[in-house]
């Protein structure tokens, strides 16, 4: 059975769910999931898991993401990006480069960010975007995110198409923690400068250790399905632990073994951030968490061969596909996850 990660260069206009559906047909399996939603407007890296590799997706969702983007100052939209209706305009002619750079600096580091109201965050059991679409004024609570890098590459002055409003387009690169909304950064930068702002372009260039260099279009994948084998995927994603033959046998039955070298330190493997354990032949056996003097399996991928053997899952393992949904709506698109990933 084919299992592994597929790094897709998502096309504009496609939901992440659309891409999952297409990959199910290409790979010939229903068990396909993704590691963090990209809005339809966005392009770039979308990590998919096939079959057993869907179990790795939960550990990819929480990794940092990197984007290139264009922020337009002088216009605000209902969705904080170019897919939504413009709700206000203000000339950005007097906004200086120094002011823009100062605004970007204030949005770098650990910040409190209010997600876009047109998101899939639930408010009293209902998606926020659905409430906005029905005319409700939704105010979401701020949440902590980390902007590791917010670099400006270009500042261009223009006029909005069909209007005499002076706008400023700012090309940026953002490296951020999981859960960050890039369109909320655009909104907040514009608001801090008193002219409003929204996102006009977004391309995700990396998700954790996986980058555009590895990504392929759906057309390319339909011709030649390139799959990152599970052992390779896990080696790049997690701390590595090489097992002896005896340890491999024990873990394959879901039993404990001696803790790893980092046990008792901040670098110790945990259930949330496990280590990838490899058999002497280099194959991925399990994901391990240290607990005291022992390491125990979080997930087991290599099945045992006798009584008590595991069929690719250990206590705490997941059998879900990891597939994220993607809401849609007329006029106000539904958004399933943060532009920076981590919500779906």
Q: Quote the distance between the C-alpha of residue 108 and its chain's center.
A: 19
Catalytic residue among 39, 80, 81, 290: 39
* Residue 171 phi, psi dihedral angles, 5° rounding: -90, 130
Q: CA-to-CA distance for 319 and 322, rounded, in angstroms?
A: 9
> Is 39 one of the annotated active-site residues of the chain?
yes
Active site (catalytic) residues:
39
């Amino acid at each position: 059975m084919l299992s592994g990660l597929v790094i897709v260069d998502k096309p504009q206009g496609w939901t992440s769910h659309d891409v999952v559906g297409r990959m199910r047909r290409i790979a010939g399996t229903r068990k396909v999931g993704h590691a963090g939603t990209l809005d339809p407007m966005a392009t770039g890296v979308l990590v998919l898991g096939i079959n057993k590799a869907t179990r790795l997706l939960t550990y990819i969702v929480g990794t940092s993401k990197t984007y290139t983007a264009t922020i337009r100052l002088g216009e605000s939209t209902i969705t904080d990006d170019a897919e939504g209706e413009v709700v206000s305009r203000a000339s950005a002619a007097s906004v200086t480069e120094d002011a823009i750079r100062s605004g970007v600096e204030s949005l770098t580091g650990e910040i409190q960010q209010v997600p876009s109201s047109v998101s899939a965050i639930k408010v009293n059991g209902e998606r926020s975007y659905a409430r906005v679409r029905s005319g409700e004024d939704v105010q979401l609570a701020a949440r902590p995110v980390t902007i590791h890098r917010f670099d400006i590459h270009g500042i261009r002055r223009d006029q909005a198409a069909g209007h005499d409003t002076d706008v400023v387009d700012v090309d940026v690169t953002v490296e951020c923690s999981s859960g960050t909304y890039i369109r909320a950064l655009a909104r907040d930068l514009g608001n801090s400068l008193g002219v409003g702002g929204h996102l006009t372009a977004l391309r995700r260039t990396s998700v954790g250790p996986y980058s555009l260099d590895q990504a392929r279009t759906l057309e390319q994948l339909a011709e030649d399905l390139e799959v990152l084998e599970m052992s390779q995927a896990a080696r790049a994603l997690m701390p590595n632990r090489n097992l002896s033959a005896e340890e491999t046998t024990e873990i394959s039955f879901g039993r404990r073994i001696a803790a790893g070298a980092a046990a008792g330190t901040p670098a110790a493997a945990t259930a949330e951030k496990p280590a990838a354990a490899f058999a002497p032949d280099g194959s991925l056996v399990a994901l391990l968490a240290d607990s005291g003097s022992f390491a125990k399996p979080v997930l087991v991928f290599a099945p045992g061969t006798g009584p008590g053997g595991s069929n690719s899952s250990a206590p705490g393992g997941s059998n879900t596909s990891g597939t994220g949904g993607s809401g849609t709506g007329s006029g106000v698109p539904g958004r399933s996850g943060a532009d920076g990933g981590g919500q779906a």
